[in-house]
Amino acid sequence: MSLPLEGLSAIVTGAGRGLGRAEALELARLGAAVVVNDYGQPGRDGSGTASAAPAEEVVAEIRAAGGRAVAHLGDVSDFESARALVDLAVEEFGKLDILVNNAGILRDRMVFSMSEDEWDSVVRVHLKGHFNTTHFAAVHWRGRAKAGETGVYGRIVNTSSEAFLAGSAGQPNYAAAKGGIVGLTTSTALALARYGVTANAICPRARTRMTEDVFAGFAEPTAEGELDPLSPEHVAPLVGYLASPAAAGVNGQLLVAHGGMVAIVDRPRVSAKFDTAKEAFTYEELDGLLSPHYASRPAGETFAASEVLGLKKG
């Protein structure tokens, strides 16, 4: 019996640790040959000396299980490094079929305290990093289609976050980048569908070094051998599914995943609509319509992060 991803090749960025590692291992388990990308800096803020060790350790795990994998030490926020990453997949495995964008850093601070560099660095790694790899993967797939190849196969899985959906007071850079990734995903989905490529985004909840502060004290295993409800292993199967032929009809979607749950997020909907009684609105008319509307709703409709995320401390 063949595996769902047998004969396909994949890139997973930020795959040396945490969520990216779990995703790379899952894609390999499902039969894909994997390029494991990780810049290897020890600090979650992108600090420290780059090291090949994290990526190489995951490659060793995949090979030990009988899979095919190669490591790539490179910063995806660098345009030429992203080009080299896609080129490596093609050189090693003959083509690229799957791109999973996961690499990211954190530099948290309130908007009134955030420096320009703290803003730029997070947006660069998350949003520009997603664009860079997507660009070169898209060039590869479009080139094959233009050359007359039929049945081009392409899957992009991007990593967004509920920080952009629910808000995250101390992460204006991260929330903005993750919102931008959703926009990039839907635009890419429309642009590449004609070539046989799908693009989707996930909002994962996972306990990793990136989120150790966010999820500190939340729902940890209570029994020996019990899987952490916030383990990356709960998210990786969804990535495997979205990367597979079974998900050919899934395109431009946003999904939340954690602890045995997958939620499909609808695009924003109009919750209320008002029309002017005259040719154009006046301040007074808007005040008479909008102020009562918002006054009838819970104060600011602001909820605690734990309520938004559906998590409980314990």
Catalytic residue among 77, 160, 161, 231: 161
Is 283 a catalytic site residue? no
Catalytic residue among 39, 153, 174, 241: 174
Catalytic residue among 9, 121, 153, 178: 178
**Burial class of 163 by CB neighbour count within 10 A (0 to 12, 13 to 18, 19+):** buried
Spatial separation of the C-alpha atoms in residues 268 and 271, rounded to whole Å? 9
CB atoms within 10 A of CB 21: 24
Spatial separation of the C-alpha atoms in residues 85 and 70, rounded to whole Å? 11
Q: Which two tokens stand for residue 48?
A: 């420290």
Is 161 a catalytic site residue? yes
Is 174 a catalytic site residue? yes
Q: Active-site residues: which are they?
A: 161, 174, 178
